[in-house]
Amino acid sequence: MNAIDLRILRNAEYLQYTKDFAGIINLNDPATLQIDTKLAAFTAKTTELENLFKKALANDRTKAVLALDQRRDDAINGIADFLQGYSYHYEADKKQNAQKLLTALAIYGSGIARQNYMSETATINNLLVDFADKPELAAAVTAFSLQPWIDELQDANTLFNTEYLSRTQEYGDANPDTIKSKREETNVTYYALRDRIDALHTLVETPPSPYTTVINQLNALTDQYNVLLVHRQEVPPENPVVPT
């Protein structure tokens, strides 16, 4: 079956992928395929992860983190959209200033708001330094009167990081059974299930294999998530410990 790097799926994506993976198998008579035992173990771990995920989302600090993340996403997207419009301006100086700032943004990829939490924090901090310290960029910011947008982005990013770190500390202290460790446990059952399907399919001596349909369906699912990851700004792989 097609591979996917589970480590870089955000928690909500990871949970949905595992639930969809199990759902497809359930539609293909797992008992007849002799994979029901592995599926049951995988489903149990997925359910445990989902319950832990819901508990984390119910945390008041998580709600604050999500709101602040949305606030900074709105700011960075607002700045990008503003500049994108001016990049078509009929006045040459406005067009050039917009292109300078867009080029600075492009260094960090086209999907800053889609990066994982800590990568987005670092990216925004670096971008703010560029806008302030590079004379040609600072001049373009001044020319467009963009400083209120810059201030909003900086304020939202700083508040987000403070809240995120506090929530991480609080959540880790209160619940040692973290989402990170539960994901690792779920991974073990996922690979055991996937490898059993592959093994049984390989052992079929007379085609057609009864596993072809479910493999094709699971590959289609995996391909959808791989496309999602390809279009996301590449960041160093990590196992998130909180919902992202």
pLDDT of the residue at 12:
84
CA dihedral sign, ordered 143, 146, 148, 153 = negative
What is the value of pTM for the model shown?
A: 0.55
Residue 40 corresponds to which tokens in the numbers above? Answer: 């049951």
pLDDT of the residue at 209:
95
Per-domain boundaries in the chain: 6-59+176-231, 60-174
Q: pLDDT for 130-154, tens place per residue?
A: 999 999 999 999 999 999 999 999 9
Q: Give the H or E element holding residue 36.
A: helix 36-58
pLDDT of the residue at 172:
57
pLDDT of the residue at 171:
61
Residue 68, Cβ neighbours under 10 Å: how many?
Answer: 20
In the predicted model, what is the mean pLDDT of residues 186-203?
97
What 3-state class would DSSP assign to 112? helix
Q: How far apart are CA 77 and CA 100, in angstroms?
A: 17
In the predicted model, what is the mean pLDDT of residues 173-181?
68
> Is the per-residue pLDDT at 8 higher than 60?
yes
Whether residue 76 contacts residue 146, with contact meaning beta carbons closer than 8 Å, is answered with no
Residues with Cβ within 8 Å of 111's Cβ and at least 6 positions away in sequence, in order, are 231, 232, 233
Q: pLDDT for 60-104, tens place per residue?
A: 778 899 999 999 999 999 999 999 999 999 999 999 999 999 999
> Is the per-residue pLDDT at 161 higher than 50?
yes
Whether residue 53 contacts residue 222, with contact meaning beta carbons closer than 8 Å, is answered with no
Residue 161 corresponds to which tokens in the numbers above? Answer: 């990081």
Q: How far apart are CA 81 and CA 167, in angstroms?
A: 31
In the predicted model, what is the mean pLDDT of residues 215-226?
96
